[in-house]
Amino acid sequence: MASLPLSPEELDLKELGDRAAGRGIAIRPLTAGIGAEIRGLDLENPLSPEDWGILRAAWLRWKVVLIRDTDISHEAHIRLGRLFGELEGHPVIPHVPGHPEILSIRGVEGVKPTPETIEGFRAYNKWHTDVTFRQKPSIASLLRARLLPPVGGDTLFADTAAAWRGLPDAVKERIETLDAEHDIVRSFGGRVTEERREQLRRDFPAVRHPVVRRHPETGEKILYVNYTFTSRILDIDPSESEQLLRLLFDRIKVPEYQVRLSWTPNAIAIWDNRSTQHYAVGDYFPADRVLERVTVSGDVVSR
C-alpha cells in the first residue's frame, strides 16, 4: 500500500480541511456521519502524495466520497484503484471488454429490461457489502457513472459503525462474540444457471466472519452482517439466528445512518467496503443505467 502522508490516527478535520484548501481541494460533508463530496482533485493524472493523503483521509473519515465531472480513462480509473491496494475481478459480474479490472455494473448483460426480465435487474437493489462471500472481502470500490437514466438510479450508503453504536446494549452483548456464514449462492445463485451455481458452490464455499468486526485502520466497531450474503448466525439456535438477522438487517435501513448519492455523468464514488453497506435504488426501469467498478482486494475480517 502506498505511504500515507496523513494517517487516520492524526486525522484532524480542521487540519484536513486546511490542507485540502491549500491545494485547491474542497471537502463538503453530506451528513454529519457519512458521505462527502470532494472537488478540485485531478483524477486523470497520477495524484501527488499530498493529494492522495487527503483523498485517503477523507475516504476513511466519510466512508463514501463522491467526485463529480471526472471523465477519466479506464487507465486512470485502474491507477486510482491501485493506490488503495491490489485489484480483483468478480466471478459473476461481467467486466469491460479488455479490462478485467473494471466491472460493468448493469442489470443483466445482453438482456433488455422488460416486465419479464426485470427480476434479474434487481440484483443491486438489496442492501449489501460487496463480496462478503469471500474469505477476504474487498476494502474499497471505485464506481464511476457511464450511462444514467433520465430520472432515478440513486445509490444509498449506510454507515455500519453507526448501526453498531445504535444497537441496544443487550443486543450488542449477545452478538459481539458470534460469527455468521456468508454465502455467494444466496445472492448470485439466482442470477446463473444450475450448473454455474454448482461451480460457484465449489469455488466459493460459504465463509465465516465475525458478526461484529473491527475496522483495521480506524479501530471502529462495525456491524458486519448483510441481507444479500449473510445466510445465518453460526452455533446458535436457528430460530434465534433468524430473529437476530431480521433485527440487524433492519438497522441498516435507519435514515440517520445513511447518505443518498444522486449520480451525474462521470461522477465517481469511492466507498470503504468494510464500514458501509449500499443499495442501488431500482426506480428507473425500463431506462438503462451503466456504471463501472474497480474493486480493491481485502484482508481477513477480524474482531
Q: Which residues are catalytic?
A: 128, 130, 278, 293
Q: Report in angstroms how near the CB of residue 226 gets to ligand OGA at its nearest.
A: 11
Selection from Mn ion, ligand OGA, none that 105 binds (CB < 5 to 8 A by kind) is ligand OGA
- From residue 33, alpha-carbon distances to 64, 106, 267 in Å are 10, 29, 21
State the residue number with the nearest CB to ligand OGA.
280
Is 124 an interacting residue with respect to ligand OGA (CB under 6 A)? yes
Give the span between the Cα atoms of 229 and 130, in whole angstroms. 9
* String of contacts with Mn ion for each residue 99-138, x by CB under 5 A: -------------------------------x--------
Q: Which residue, chain included where needed, has cell 491549500?
A: 22
Nearer to ligand OGA, 130 or 181 (CB): 130
* Nearest one of 204, 225, 223 to 214, comparing CA atoms: 223
Nearer to ligand OGA, 124 or 227 (CB): 124
Selection from Mn ion, ligand OGA, none that 51 binds (CB < 5 to 8 A by kind) is none
Nearer to ligand OGA, 53 or 153 (CB): 153
State the residue number with the nearest CB to Mn ion.
130
Q: Report in angstroms how near the CB of residue 143 gets to ligand OGA at its nearest.
A: 5
Q: Which of residues 193-252 bind Mn ion (CB under 5 A)?
A: none
Kindly state the helix (H) or strand (E) to which residue 118 belongs, with its residue range.
Answer: helix 118-121
Give the span between the Cα atoms of 74 and 241, in whole angstroms. 43
- From residue 73, alpha-carbon distances to 41, 77, 141, 169, 252 in Å are 15, 6, 17, 48, 34
Grid cell for residue 57: 483521509
Tell how far CA 299 is from the center of its chain: 15
Is 278 an interacting residue with respect to ligand OGA (CB under 6 A)? yes
Selection from Mn ion, ligand OGA, none that 155 binds (CB < 5 to 8 A by kind) is ligand OGA
Beta strands in 109-188 (DSSP E): 140-147, 155-159, 179-182
Is 142 an interacting residue with respect to ligand OGA (CB under 6 A)? no
Give the span between the Cα atoms of 146 and 182, in whole angstroms. 31
- Which residue in 141, 160, 226, 277 binds ligand OGA (CB under 6 A)? 141
Q: Where along the sequence are the contacts to ligand OGA (CB under 6 A)?
A: 105, 124, 130, 141, 143, 155, 278, 280, 291, 293
